A and B are shown apart, each in its own frame.
Chain A
Amino acid sequence: MPAETHSTQEPLGADEVFATVRTHLAEILEIDDASVTLDANFAEDLHADSLALIELVEAIEEDLGERTVGFSFDDEDLGDLKTVRDAVDYVVARLGAAAA
Protein backbone atom coordinates (compact mmCIF):
# COMPACT_ATOMS: atom_id res chain seq x y z
CA MET A 1 0.00 0.00 0.00
CA PRO A 2 1.51 3.36 -0.99
CA ALA A 3 2.29 5.54 2.01
CA GLU A 4 0.48 8.57 0.58
CA THR A 5 -2.88 6.85 0.67
CA HIS A 6 -2.41 5.16 3.99
CA SER A 7 -4.75 6.10 6.82
CA THR A 8 -2.83 6.99 9.93
CA GLN A 9 -5.76 6.21 12.25
CA GLU A 10 -9.02 4.32 12.20
CA PRO A 11 -11.57 5.93 9.83
CA LEU A 12 -14.13 8.10 11.56
CA GLY A 13 -17.68 6.84 12.01
CA ALA A 14 -20.80 8.64 10.86
CA ASP A 15 -21.41 10.22 14.28
CA GLU A 16 -17.94 11.71 14.42
CA VAL A 17 -18.16 12.95 10.86
CA PHE A 18 -21.53 14.55 11.60
CA ALA A 19 -20.02 16.30 14.62
CA THR A 20 -17.22 17.63 12.44
CA VAL A 21 -19.58 18.80 9.72
CA ARG A 22 -21.91 20.40 12.25
CA THR A 23 -19.12 22.29 14.00
CA HIS A 24 -17.68 23.69 10.78
CA LEU A 25 -21.05 24.52 9.28
CA ALA A 26 -22.25 26.32 12.40
CA GLU A 27 -19.05 28.35 12.43
CA ILE A 28 -19.21 29.22 8.75
CA LEU A 29 -22.89 30.17 8.79
CA GLU A 30 -22.72 31.82 12.22
CA ILE A 31 -25.61 29.72 13.46
CA ASP A 32 -26.26 27.56 16.48
CA ASP A 33 -24.95 23.97 16.31
CA ALA A 34 -28.44 22.70 17.09
CA SER A 35 -29.75 24.13 13.81
CA VAL A 36 -27.54 21.75 11.89
CA THR A 37 -29.50 18.50 11.74
CA LEU A 38 -28.88 15.54 9.47
CA ASP A 39 -31.98 16.29 7.45
CA ALA A 40 -31.28 19.99 7.05
CA ASN A 41 -31.10 21.09 3.42
CA PHE A 42 -28.10 23.33 2.82
CA ALA A 43 -29.92 25.83 0.65
CA GLU A 44 -33.50 25.73 1.92
CA ASP A 45 -33.02 25.22 5.64
CA LEU A 46 -29.57 26.62 6.35
CA HIS A 47 -29.42 29.28 3.60
CA ALA A 48 -25.90 28.17 2.72
CA ASP A 49 -24.78 29.55 -0.64
CA SER A 50 -22.27 27.87 -2.94
CA LEU A 51 -19.33 29.70 -1.39
CA ALA A 52 -20.35 28.66 2.09
CA LEU A 53 -20.39 25.05 0.92
CA ILE A 54 -16.93 25.43 -0.55
CA GLU A 55 -15.77 26.91 2.75
CA LEU A 56 -17.23 23.83 4.42
CA VAL A 57 -15.54 21.46 1.97
CA GLU A 58 -12.15 23.12 2.44
CA ALA A 59 -12.51 23.13 6.22
CA ILE A 60 -13.41 19.42 6.29
CA GLU A 61 -10.57 18.56 3.92
CA GLU A 62 -8.10 20.43 6.09
CA ASP A 63 -9.45 18.84 9.24
CA LEU A 64 -9.82 15.25 8.11
CA GLY A 65 -6.98 15.32 5.59
CA GLU A 66 -4.55 15.46 8.49
CA ARG A 67 -6.08 12.30 9.92
CA THR A 68 -6.60 10.38 6.71
CA VAL A 69 -3.99 11.12 4.10
CA GLY A 70 -5.47 11.27 0.62
CA PHE A 71 -8.94 12.32 1.74
CA SER A 72 -10.59 14.98 -0.41
CA PHE A 73 -13.87 15.88 -2.06
CA ASP A 74 -14.22 15.38 -5.78
CA ASP A 75 -15.37 18.73 -7.18
CA GLU A 76 -17.66 16.94 -9.62
CA ASP A 77 -19.64 15.52 -6.70
CA LEU A 78 -20.32 18.77 -4.86
CA GLY A 79 -23.54 19.48 -6.75
CA ASP A 80 -25.02 16.23 -5.42
CA LEU A 81 -24.65 17.24 -1.79
CA LYS A 82 -28.04 18.74 -0.94
CA THR A 83 -28.39 17.90 2.76
CA VAL A 84 -26.15 17.51 5.77
CA ARG A 85 -26.81 13.76 5.61
CA ASP A 86 -25.58 13.71 1.99
CA ALA A 87 -22.35 15.35 3.10
CA VAL A 88 -21.87 13.04 6.08
CA ASP A 89 -22.49 9.91 3.99
CA TYR A 90 -20.16 11.19 1.29
CA VAL A 91 -17.36 11.94 3.75
CA VAL A 92 -17.70 8.55 5.44
CA ALA A 93 -17.51 6.81 2.07
CA ARG A 94 -14.50 8.84 0.94
CA LEU A 95 -12.71 8.25 4.24
CA GLY A 96 -13.29 4.54 3.83
CA ALA A 97 -11.96 4.65 0.28
CA ALA A 98 -8.89 6.63 1.31
CA ALA A 99 -8.15 4.19 4.13
CA ALA A 100 -8.65 1.07 1.99
Chain B
Amino acid sequence: MPEPLTVAIDAMGGDHAPAAIVEGALAAVDQLGVRVLLVGDDAAIRESLPGGGPPDGVTIQATSEVIAMHDEPGAAVRKKKDSSIVRAAEAVRDGRADAMVGAGNTGATMAAALLRFGRIHGAARPAIGVPIPVPFGQPQLLVDGGATVDCSPEWLVQFAQMGRAYARLRLGEAEPTVGLLSNGEEPGKGDDLRKRTFALLDGQPWFVGNVEGRELMSGHPHVIVTDGFTGNVALKTVEGALKAAANLVFTTLGAPEAKGAADVVAPLLLQGVTDYLDPDTIGGAALLGVAGVCVISHGSSSPRAIVNAVALATECVTGGLVDRMQDAIGELQDAQESPSGTDRGHAAVEEEEAYAR
Protein backbone atom coordinates (compact mmCIF):
# COMPACT_ATOMS: atom_id res chain seq x y z
CA MET B 1 0.00 0.00 0.00
CA PRO B 2 1.56 3.34 -1.00
CA GLU B 3 2.35 5.91 1.64
CA PRO B 4 -0.31 8.61 1.88
CA LEU B 5 0.65 11.93 0.37
CA THR B 6 1.58 14.81 2.65
CA VAL B 7 0.27 18.27 1.91
CA ALA B 8 1.83 21.31 3.57
CA ILE B 9 -0.84 23.88 4.40
CA ASP B 10 -0.20 27.51 5.25
CA ALA B 11 -2.32 27.58 8.40
CA MET B 12 -2.02 31.35 8.77
CA GLY B 13 -3.25 32.27 5.30
CA GLY B 14 -6.77 33.48 4.64
CA ASP B 15 -9.48 35.64 6.15
CA HIS B 16 -10.61 32.90 8.54
CA ALA B 17 -7.18 31.53 9.48
CA PRO B 18 -6.18 29.56 11.31
CA ALA B 19 -9.54 28.14 12.49
CA ALA B 20 -11.10 27.48 9.07
CA ILE B 21 -7.81 26.26 7.61
CA VAL B 22 -7.20 23.84 10.47
CA GLU B 23 -10.79 22.57 10.34
CA GLY B 24 -10.43 21.99 6.62
CA ALA B 25 -7.11 20.25 7.08
CA LEU B 26 -8.57 17.84 9.61
CA ALA B 27 -11.48 17.12 7.28
CA ALA B 28 -9.05 16.49 4.43
CA VAL B 29 -7.20 13.92 6.53
CA ASP B 30 -10.49 12.16 7.29
CA GLN B 31 -12.03 12.39 3.84
CA LEU B 32 -9.02 12.03 1.54
CA GLY B 33 -6.67 9.83 3.51
CA VAL B 34 -3.80 12.29 3.23
CA ARG B 35 -1.38 13.59 5.81
CA VAL B 36 -1.15 17.30 6.42
CA LEU B 37 1.66 19.47 7.67
CA LEU B 38 0.13 22.53 9.29
CA VAL B 39 2.63 25.36 9.02
CA GLY B 40 2.22 28.43 11.21
CA ASP B 41 1.97 29.81 14.70
CA ASP B 42 2.08 26.79 17.01
CA ALA B 43 -0.17 28.20 19.74
CA ALA B 44 -2.76 29.52 17.29
CA ILE B 45 -2.92 26.21 15.46
CA ARG B 46 -3.26 24.22 18.68
CA GLU B 47 -6.08 26.50 19.82
CA SER B 48 -7.98 25.46 16.70
CA LEU B 49 -7.34 21.75 17.18
CA PRO B 50 -9.92 19.80 19.20
CA GLY B 51 -8.08 18.68 22.31
CA GLY B 52 -5.23 21.08 21.64
CA GLY B 53 -2.97 18.56 19.95
CA PRO B 54 -2.55 17.16 16.43
CA PRO B 55 -4.41 13.90 15.72
CA ASP B 56 -2.99 11.08 13.59
CA GLY B 57 -2.10 12.30 10.13
CA VAL B 58 -1.47 15.87 11.25
CA THR B 59 1.91 17.44 12.04
CA ILE B 60 2.64 21.01 13.05
CA GLN B 61 5.63 23.01 11.88
CA ALA B 62 5.94 26.09 14.07
CA THR B 63 6.87 29.38 12.46
CA SER B 64 7.34 32.83 13.96
CA GLU B 65 6.26 35.14 11.13
CA VAL B 66 3.19 35.75 8.99
CA ILE B 67 3.04 37.40 5.59
CA ALA B 68 0.02 39.70 5.62
CA MET B 69 -2.34 40.21 2.71
CA HIS B 70 -0.98 43.73 2.13
CA ASP B 71 2.72 42.79 2.19
CA GLU B 72 4.63 43.22 -1.06
CA PRO B 73 5.06 39.60 -2.20
CA GLY B 74 8.68 39.36 -3.32
CA ALA B 75 10.08 41.52 -0.54
CA ALA B 76 8.02 39.69 2.08
CA VAL B 77 9.30 36.30 0.98
CA ARG B 78 12.88 37.56 1.26
CA LYS B 79 12.41 39.32 4.58
CA LYS B 80 10.09 36.92 6.38
CA LYS B 81 12.04 33.72 5.98
CA ASP B 82 10.32 32.10 8.97
CA SER B 83 6.84 32.81 7.67
CA SER B 84 4.25 30.10 7.21
CA ILE B 85 4.14 30.59 3.44
CA VAL B 86 7.90 30.34 2.98
CA ARG B 87 8.26 27.35 5.31
CA ALA B 88 5.41 25.52 3.58
CA ALA B 89 7.18 25.96 0.25
CA GLU B 90 10.44 24.76 1.79
CA ALA B 91 8.70 21.66 3.11
CA VAL B 92 7.90 20.74 -0.49
CA ARG B 93 11.35 21.68 -1.72
CA ASP B 94 12.99 19.56 0.98
CA GLY B 95 10.76 16.55 0.34
CA ARG B 96 8.88 16.69 3.65
CA ALA B 97 5.63 17.38 1.78
CA ASP B 98 4.41 16.47 -1.70
CA ALA B 99 2.48 19.68 -2.32
CA MET B 100 1.51 22.94 -0.68
CA VAL B 101 -1.79 24.75 -0.28
CA GLY B 102 -2.10 28.42 0.62
CA ALA B 103 -5.07 30.74 1.03
CA GLY B 104 -3.09 33.78 2.09
CA ASN B 105 -1.33 36.49 0.11
CA THR B 106 -1.58 35.13 -3.45
CA GLY B 107 1.48 36.94 -4.73
CA ALA B 108 3.60 35.81 -1.80
CA THR B 109 2.42 32.21 -2.14
CA MET B 110 3.35 32.33 -5.79
CA ALA B 111 6.69 34.01 -5.05
CA ALA B 112 7.56 31.50 -2.32
CA ALA B 113 6.79 28.60 -4.64
CA LEU B 114 8.78 30.16 -7.47
CA LEU B 115 11.79 31.03 -5.33
CA ARG B 116 11.89 27.84 -3.28
CA PHE B 117 10.83 25.24 -5.89
CA GLY B 118 12.46 27.01 -8.84
CA ARG B 119 11.00 27.04 -12.33
CA ILE B 120 10.82 23.97 -14.50
CA HIS B 121 13.53 24.00 -17.15
CA GLY B 122 12.63 26.31 -20.01
CA ALA B 123 9.57 27.88 -18.40
CA ALA B 124 10.15 31.63 -18.57
CA ARG B 125 7.53 32.69 -16.04
CA PRO B 126 4.87 30.95 -13.93
CA ALA B 127 1.14 31.20 -14.58
CA ILE B 128 -1.91 30.49 -12.47
CA GLY B 129 -4.34 28.04 -14.06
CA VAL B 130 -7.72 29.13 -12.73
CA PRO B 131 -10.77 26.94 -13.26
CA ILE B 132 -13.68 29.13 -14.37
CA PRO B 133 -17.05 27.61 -13.45
CA VAL B 134 -19.33 26.58 -16.27
CA PRO B 135 -22.97 25.91 -15.30
CA PHE B 136 -23.97 22.30 -16.07
CA GLY B 137 -20.52 21.55 -17.43
CA GLN B 138 -16.94 21.13 -16.38
CA PRO B 139 -14.80 24.19 -15.74
CA GLN B 140 -12.88 26.15 -18.30
CA LEU B 141 -9.29 27.17 -17.57
CA LEU B 142 -8.04 30.75 -17.55
CA VAL B 143 -4.24 31.01 -17.82
CA ASP B 144 -2.81 33.29 -16.37
CA GLY B 145 -5.01 34.32 -13.46
CA GLY B 146 -2.48 36.80 -12.09
CA ALA B 147 1.00 35.38 -11.64
CA THR B 148 2.83 37.31 -14.37
CA VAL B 149 1.46 40.77 -14.99
CA ASP B 150 3.72 41.85 -17.86
CA CYS B 151 4.15 39.21 -20.52
CA SER B 152 5.90 38.75 -23.84
CA PRO B 153 4.23 36.90 -26.75
CA GLU B 154 6.61 33.97 -26.25
CA TRP B 155 5.53 33.65 -22.62
CA LEU B 156 1.87 33.57 -23.62
CA VAL B 157 2.67 30.76 -26.04
CA GLN B 158 4.19 28.89 -23.10
CA PHE B 159 1.06 29.58 -21.07
CA ALA B 160 -1.00 28.09 -23.89
CA GLN B 161 1.11 24.94 -23.90
CA MET B 162 1.05 24.61 -20.13
CA GLY B 163 -2.68 25.35 -20.11
CA ARG B 164 -3.31 22.52 -22.56
CA ALA B 165 -1.24 20.12 -20.48
CA TYR B 166 -3.10 21.17 -17.34
CA ALA B 167 -6.47 20.83 -19.10
CA ARG B 168 -5.63 17.23 -19.95
CA LEU B 169 -5.03 16.54 -16.28
CA ARG B 170 -7.72 18.72 -14.75
CA LEU B 171 -10.49 18.39 -17.32
CA GLY B 172 -9.62 15.02 -18.84
CA GLU B 173 -9.67 16.54 -22.32
CA ALA B 174 -7.45 14.66 -24.77
CA GLU B 175 -7.08 17.57 -27.18
CA PRO B 176 -7.90 20.82 -25.38
CA THR B 177 -8.58 23.88 -27.46
CA VAL B 178 -7.07 27.28 -26.68
CA GLY B 179 -8.30 30.80 -27.32
CA LEU B 180 -6.49 34.11 -26.85
CA LEU B 181 -8.43 36.65 -24.79
CA SER B 182 -8.82 39.84 -26.81
CA ASN B 183 -11.24 42.64 -27.59
CA GLY B 184 -12.64 40.98 -30.68
CA GLU B 185 -12.56 37.68 -32.51
CA GLU B 186 -10.94 38.88 -35.73
CA PRO B 187 -7.22 38.10 -36.12
CA GLY B 188 -6.21 41.77 -36.24
CA LYS B 189 -7.88 42.63 -32.96
CA GLY B 190 -6.00 43.50 -29.81
CA ASP B 191 -2.94 45.39 -28.71
CA ASP B 192 0.59 44.65 -29.81
CA LEU B 193 0.95 41.78 -27.33
CA ARG B 194 -2.24 40.11 -28.58
CA LYS B 195 -1.32 40.56 -32.25
CA ARG B 196 2.16 39.15 -31.83
CA THR B 197 0.91 36.25 -29.75
CA PHE B 198 -1.80 35.49 -32.29
CA ALA B 199 0.87 35.32 -34.98
CA LEU B 200 2.86 32.80 -32.99
CA LEU B 201 -0.14 30.60 -32.20
CA ASP B 202 -1.81 30.83 -35.59
CA GLY B 203 -1.73 27.54 -37.47
CA GLN B 204 -1.79 25.32 -34.42
CA PRO B 205 -4.70 22.91 -34.86
CA TRP B 206 -5.83 23.47 -31.28
CA PHE B 207 -5.78 27.27 -31.47
CA VAL B 208 -9.28 28.66 -32.06
CA GLY B 209 -8.15 32.29 -32.40
CA ASN B 210 -9.12 35.33 -30.41
CA VAL B 211 -11.99 35.06 -27.96
CA GLU B 212 -13.84 37.80 -26.16
CA GLY B 213 -14.48 37.99 -22.44
CA ARG B 214 -18.03 36.72 -22.88
CA GLU B 215 -16.62 33.27 -23.68
CA LEU B 216 -15.55 32.96 -20.05
CA MET B 217 -18.00 30.51 -18.38
CA SER B 218 -19.16 29.23 -21.78
CA GLY B 219 -16.92 26.16 -21.71
CA HIS B 220 -15.44 26.88 -25.14
CA PRO B 221 -12.55 26.90 -25.74
CA HIS B 222 -11.20 24.70 -22.97
CA VAL B 223 -8.36 27.10 -22.18
CA ILE B 224 -8.34 30.89 -22.43
CA VAL B 225 -4.88 32.42 -22.42
CA THR B 226 -3.95 35.94 -21.43
CA ASP B 227 -1.40 37.90 -19.41
CA GLY B 228 -1.71 37.95 -15.62
CA PHE B 229 -2.93 41.52 -15.49
CA THR B 230 -5.82 41.07 -17.91
CA GLY B 231 -6.53 37.62 -16.52
CA ASN B 232 -6.90 38.90 -13.00
CA VAL B 233 -9.11 41.78 -14.13
CA ALA B 234 -11.28 39.31 -16.06
CA LEU B 235 -11.55 37.02 -13.04
CA LYS B 236 -12.65 39.79 -10.72
CA THR B 237 -15.10 41.07 -13.34
CA VAL B 238 -16.71 37.64 -13.61
CA GLU B 239 -16.84 37.41 -9.82
CA GLY B 240 -18.54 40.79 -9.52
CA ALA B 241 -21.01 40.04 -12.30
CA LEU B 242 -21.95 36.75 -10.66
CA LYS B 243 -22.55 38.44 -7.32
CA ALA B 244 -24.73 41.08 -8.96
CA ALA B 245 -26.71 38.44 -10.87
CA ALA B 246 -27.17 36.34 -7.74
CA ASN B 247 -28.29 39.41 -5.81
CA LEU B 248 -30.86 40.22 -8.50
CA VAL B 249 -32.20 36.67 -8.67
CA PHE B 250 -32.45 36.04 -4.94
CA THR B 251 -33.84 39.50 -4.18
CA THR B 252 -36.52 38.94 -6.81
CA LEU B 253 -37.35 35.54 -5.39
CA GLY B 254 -37.69 37.12 -1.97
CA ALA B 255 -40.45 39.46 -3.12
CA PRO B 256 -43.93 38.66 -1.73
CA GLU B 257 -45.41 38.11 -5.19
CA ALA B 258 -42.76 35.46 -5.95
CA LYS B 259 -43.55 33.42 -2.85
CA GLY B 260 -44.98 30.36 -4.55
CA ALA B 261 -42.32 30.19 -7.23
CA ALA B 262 -39.52 30.89 -4.76
CA ASP B 263 -40.39 27.87 -2.64
CA VAL B 264 -39.75 25.66 -5.69
CA VAL B 265 -37.00 27.53 -7.50
CA ALA B 266 -34.81 28.86 -4.67
CA PRO B 267 -33.57 25.45 -3.45
CA LEU B 268 -32.75 24.44 -7.03
CA LEU B 269 -30.87 27.68 -7.62
CA LEU B 270 -28.97 27.35 -4.38
CA GLN B 271 -27.96 23.82 -5.29
CA GLY B 272 -26.83 24.99 -8.72
CA VAL B 273 -24.79 27.78 -7.19
CA THR B 274 -23.17 25.34 -4.76
CA ASP B 275 -22.45 22.76 -7.47
CA TYR B 276 -21.09 25.05 -10.14
CA LEU B 277 -20.39 28.59 -9.00
CA ASP B 278 -19.24 28.41 -5.40
CA PRO B 279 -15.45 28.96 -5.34
CA ASP B 280 -15.27 26.68 -2.32
CA THR B 281 -16.34 23.82 -4.59
CA ILE B 282 -13.40 24.45 -6.89
CA GLY B 283 -10.97 24.81 -4.00
CA GLY B 284 -8.11 26.56 -5.70
CA ALA B 285 -5.91 27.17 -8.69
CA ALA B 286 -2.66 25.44 -9.56
CA LEU B 287 0.56 27.34 -10.15
CA LEU B 288 1.99 26.21 -13.49
CA GLY B 289 5.64 26.33 -14.51
CA VAL B 290 7.27 25.76 -11.12
CA ALA B 291 9.09 22.61 -10.05
CA GLY B 292 6.56 21.56 -7.42
CA VAL B 293 2.85 21.48 -6.74
CA CYS B 294 1.33 24.63 -5.26
CA VAL B 295 -2.41 25.22 -5.03
CA ILE B 296 -3.55 28.75 -4.34
CA SER B 297 -6.94 29.12 -2.67
CA HIS B 298 -9.02 32.25 -2.35
CA GLY B 299 -8.66 34.42 0.72
CA SER B 300 -12.08 33.69 2.18
CA SER B 301 -11.63 29.92 1.98
CA SER B 302 -13.95 27.86 4.16
CA PRO B 303 -13.03 24.45 5.56
CA ARG B 304 -14.76 22.90 2.53
CA ALA B 305 -12.56 24.99 0.20
CA ILE B 306 -9.46 23.71 1.96
CA VAL B 307 -10.61 20.09 1.59
CA ASN B 308 -11.13 20.68 -2.13
CA ALA B 309 -7.81 22.48 -2.45
CA VAL B 310 -6.02 19.56 -0.80
CA ALA B 311 -7.89 17.20 -3.14
CA LEU B 312 -6.71 19.25 -6.13
CA ALA B 313 -3.14 19.25 -4.79
CA THR B 314 -3.12 15.47 -4.45
CA GLU B 315 -4.63 15.13 -7.93
CA CYS B 316 -1.81 17.29 -9.28
CA VAL B 317 0.81 15.14 -7.54
CA THR B 318 -0.61 11.79 -8.57
CA GLY B 319 -1.37 13.08 -12.06
CA GLY B 320 2.24 14.22 -12.53
CA LEU B 321 1.53 17.93 -12.98
CA VAL B 322 5.18 18.98 -12.87
CA ASP B 323 6.28 16.35 -15.40
CA ARG B 324 3.39 17.31 -17.66
CA MET B 325 4.45 20.96 -17.55
CA GLN B 326 8.05 19.99 -18.23
CA ASP B 327 7.00 17.86 -21.21
CA ALA B 328 4.80 20.67 -22.56
CA ILE B 329 7.64 23.21 -22.41
CA GLY B 330 10.06 20.67 -23.84
CA GLU B 331 7.80 19.97 -26.81
CA LEU B 332 7.46 23.69 -27.43
CA GLN B 333 11.23 24.17 -27.36
CA ASP B 334 11.72 21.25 -29.73
CA ALA B 335 9.20 22.74 -32.14
CA GLN B 336 10.84 26.16 -31.94
CA GLU B 337 14.28 24.72 -32.56
CA SER B 338 13.16 22.87 -35.67
CA PRO B 339 13.75 24.96 -38.82
CA SER B 340 10.11 24.89 -39.87
CA GLY B 341 8.88 25.89 -36.44
CA THR B 342 11.23 28.85 -36.17
CA ASP B 343 10.55 30.00 -39.71
CA ARG B 344 6.83 29.83 -39.22
CA GLY B 345 6.92 31.86 -36.03
CA HIS B 346 9.23 34.57 -37.29
CA ALA B 347 7.54 34.81 -40.67
CA ALA B 348 4.16 35.12 -39.02
CA VAL B 349 5.36 37.92 -36.75
CA GLU B 350 6.97 39.78 -39.64
CA GLU B 351 3.81 39.42 -41.69
CA GLU B 352 1.77 40.74 -38.80
CA GLU B 353 4.11 43.69 -38.30
CA ALA B 354 3.97 44.53 -42.00
CA TYR B 355 0.20 44.41 -41.79
CA ALA B 356 0.23 46.75 -38.80
CA ARG B 357 2.39 49.26 -40.68
Number of B interface residues, CB 8 Å? 17
How many angstroms from the CA of A51 to the CA of B74 in the assembled complex? 6
Q: Other than A30-B124, A49-B148, A54-B74, give 7 A-B pairs with Cβ distance below 8 A.
A: A49-B125, A49-B150, A50-B74, A54-B77, A55-B114, A57-B78, A75-B78
Task: Tell me how many residues of A have a C-beta within 8 Å of chain B.
Answer: 14
Task: Tally the A-B contacts, defined by beta carbons under 8 Å.
Answer: 33
Asked if A58 contacts B74 (CB within 8 A), the reply is no
CA distance A29 to B125 in the complex (A): 8
- If over half of A's interface residues share one DSSP class (helix, strand or loop), that class is named, otherwise mixed; here it is helix
Enumerate B58-78 residues with CB–CB distance to A below 8 Å: 73-75, 77-78
| Interchain nearest-CB distance for B285 vs A (Å) | 17
B→A interface (CB under 8 Å): 73-75, 77-79, 111, 114-115, 122-125, 148-150, 152
| A53, closest chain B residue (CB) | B74
Q: List 19 A-B contacts (CB under 8 A).
A: A29-B124, A30-B123, A30-B124, A47-B152, A49-B125, A49-B149, A50-B74, A51-B74, A52-B125, A53-B74, A54-B75, A54-B78, A54-B111, A54-B115, A55-B114, A57-B78, A75-B75, A75-B78, A75-B79
Question: Which residues of A13-39 have CB atoms within 8 Å of chain B's CB atoms?
Answer: 29-30
- Which chain B residue has the least Cβ–Cβ distance from A31? B124
Write the chain A residue with the least CB distance to B72: A50
A73's nearest neighbour on chain B, judged by CB, is B78
Which of A51, A54, A75, A78 has the largest number of chain B CB atoms within 10 A? A51
Closest A-chain residue to B147, C-beta based?
A: A51
- List CB contacts (< 8 Å) of A50-98 with chain B: 50-55, 57-58, 75, 78
Chain A residues near B79: list those with CB within 8 A. Answer: 75
Report how far A50 CA is from B78 CA in the complex, Å. 12
Partner of A55, one of B75, B115, B148: B115
CA–CA, A52 and B123, complex, Å: 12
Residues on the B chain within 8 Å of A75, using CB: 75, 78-79
- Do A51 and B150 have beta carbons less than 8 Å apart? no
| Chain B nearest CB, measured from A62 CB (Å) | 11
